[in-house]
Amino acid sequence: MKIFLQEIRSDYEGFSVLVSLAAETRECDFDDIEIDMSRATWIDANMCAPFGAILYKVGRGLNTVRLTNIPVDVETILSRNGFLCNYGWSRRTDTYGSTIEYKRFDPKDDRYFADYIEKYMIGKGIPDMSFELLKKFRESIYEIFSNAVIHSRTKQGIFSCGQYYHKKHLFEFSIADLGIGIRQNIQRRFGLDLPAADAINWALEGHNTTKTGPIPGGLGLKLLREFIVRNEGRIQIVSDKGYWELSGEKVTTRSFSDPFPGTVVNIVINTGDTKSYCLASEVNPEEIF
Amino acid sequence: MSDKIVLMVFEVVGSGICVSSDDGQKVHDQIATALRQGKYVRLSFLNVESLTSAFLNASIGQLYGEFSEETIKLSLSVSDMEKNDLALLKRVVEMAKEYFRNPERFKKAREEALEERDAD
């Protein structure tokens, strides 16, 4: 089987390419799958997370995956962040120290994930942000990972990758899982059959949560949203057939013709943000409980 | 034997990166054991660098499933927490109270906590 891949940017069209790839390979078992990348003239590095998730799923069907005719620029990006190491390439040195490497984690790998993130937060060309912004940034990434661990029910892992764009003062980071997706989570928990994009919207509103059991929850994505709005960054969430994007304070939702086999959260942080993230008012520790 | 206990979150977790639900569970289990014995617990966040709602829900929010708001108010305090982290904790606590105000949920959480304690 031969599939031609188009360029994959961090936008609806980029996710559409990946959703199509997932649909075309869904029924493959013991197949030889060549992904011809001659037409993929650009791939945003962070999109290796959802791209890698789909290829990993294909591999679990005992298919052989080959990536061929990779344009030079794309090969450079994907070997610097380690993505192509999974497909027979050597790693290239990340000369500018501007990548957070592509990696797959199991849900129980919180500690490894934390070590991986902390490794890139100090020096290594990742920009100097204010202490408060850096703390918010780190904690946002941890919230996304925790969300995937708690809600996805994935047995196939959680995939992450990031990239810093020096000139644009932007940091893009993606986490993808191969779990049950938000729509199905809501359907199982409440019997509500929402369109996929509406399901994502539901998850980000008010006190909505699918959490059950002895540990409460439901704050993670809301906190992320608040931070990104203040930072003037961007969030994209893809789950099942739903696409949800927050940019500035504007929310856009769209649908795909086929589902992404899990959930992706992509954040873009404005690293040039000089706003204070320190609370203006004091919270009295005596009045917490 | 002292009625007052100081728990260092850093020491229980083994790191200042306190972000996972599993690590939060370890902290919760220590607090819960102490509260069941009628002790007063001061939870110190000294040297903790990163916190998430997932960690705080597991470590502290979960307590509202077993103990009354009154008990927690009288028996638990926090110290050495940055302003922003205090604000996060407050939100976690408010959501936890709301979560467990569902009587069925509270009853179920209490039963599960008792079963786990008996199994230990």
The 10s digit of each residue's pLDDT in A102-123 is 999 999 898 899 889 888 776 5
Q: What average pLDDT does the structure give for chain A? A: 89
Q: What does the pLDDT read at residue A122? A: 65
Which has the closest alpha carbon to A123: A161, A91, A103, A96?
A96
Q: What does the pLDDT read at residue B119? A: 66
Which has the closest alpha carbon to A19: A263, A278, A288?
A263
Is the CB of A216 less than 8 angstroms away from the CB of B62? yes
Q: What average pLDDT does the structure give for chain B? A: 89
Q: List, in order, residues 6 or more apart from A84 with CB less than 8 Å away.
A: A67, A70, A75, A78, A91
Per CB-CB distance under 8 Å, the chain B contacts of A147 are 54
Q: What is the pLDDT of residues B7-46, one digit of tens each?
A: 999 999 999 999 999 999 999 999 999 999 999 999 999 9
Q: What does the pLDDT read at residue A220? A: 85
Per CB-CB distance under 8 Å, the chain A contacts of B115 are none
The Cα-based distances of A158 to A57, A146, A161, A212 in angstroms read: 11, 10, 10, 22
Nearest to B21 among A132, A149, A289 (CB): A149
Q: List, in order, residues 6 or more apart from A150 with CB less than 8 Å away.
A: A211, A217, B21, B54
Distance to chain A for B1, nearest Cα, Å: 25
CB A198 within 8 Å of CB A253:
yes
Backbone angles phi, psi at A227, to 5 degrees: -65, -45
Per CB-CB distance under 8 Å, the chain A contacts of B13 are none
Q: What gap in Å lies between CA A140 and CA A190, rounded to an integer?
A: 27
CB A158 within 8 Å of CB A176:
yes
- Give the tokens for residue B9: 């979150």
**Does residue B120 register a pLDDT over 60?**
no
pLDDT band at B114 (very low <50, low <70, confident <90, very high): low
Q: Left, alpha or beta for A191 (phi > 0: left; psi -120 to 50: alpha)?
A: left
Percent of chain B with pLDDT over 90: 73
State ipTM: 0.84
For the entire predicted model, the pTM comes to: 0.89
User: In which residue ranges of chain A is pLDDT below 50?
Assistant: none
State which residue of chain A sits closest to B80, comparing Cα positions: A285
CB A56 within 8 Å of CB A89:
no
The Cα-based distances of A200 to A177, A197, A263, A270 in angstroms read: 15, 5, 10, 23
CA A263 distance to own-chain centroid = 8
Is the CB of B53 less than 8 angstroms away from the CB of A150? no
**Does residue B101 register a pLDDT over 90?**
no
Q: What does the pLDDT read at residue A183? A: 92
Is the CB of A110 less than 8 angstroms away from the CB of B109? no
Question: B46 touching A, CB under 8 A?
Answer: no
Distance to chain A for B87, nearest Cα, Å: 6
Q: What gap in Å lies between CA A154 and CA A180, rounded to an integer?
A: 7
Q: What is the pLDDT of residues A172-196, one digit of tens each?
A: 999 999 999 999 988 888 888 899 9
Q: What gap in Å lies between CA A265 and CA A162, rounded to an integer?
A: 12
Strands A158-165 and A32-36: unpaired
The Cα-based distances of A56 to A176, A193, B72 in angstroms read: 11, 29, 46
Per CB-CB distance under 8 Å, the chain B contacts of A218 are 95, 99
State which residue of chain B sits closest to A209, comparing Cα positions: B99
Q: What gap in Å lies between CA B53 and CA B106, rounded to an integer?
A: 20
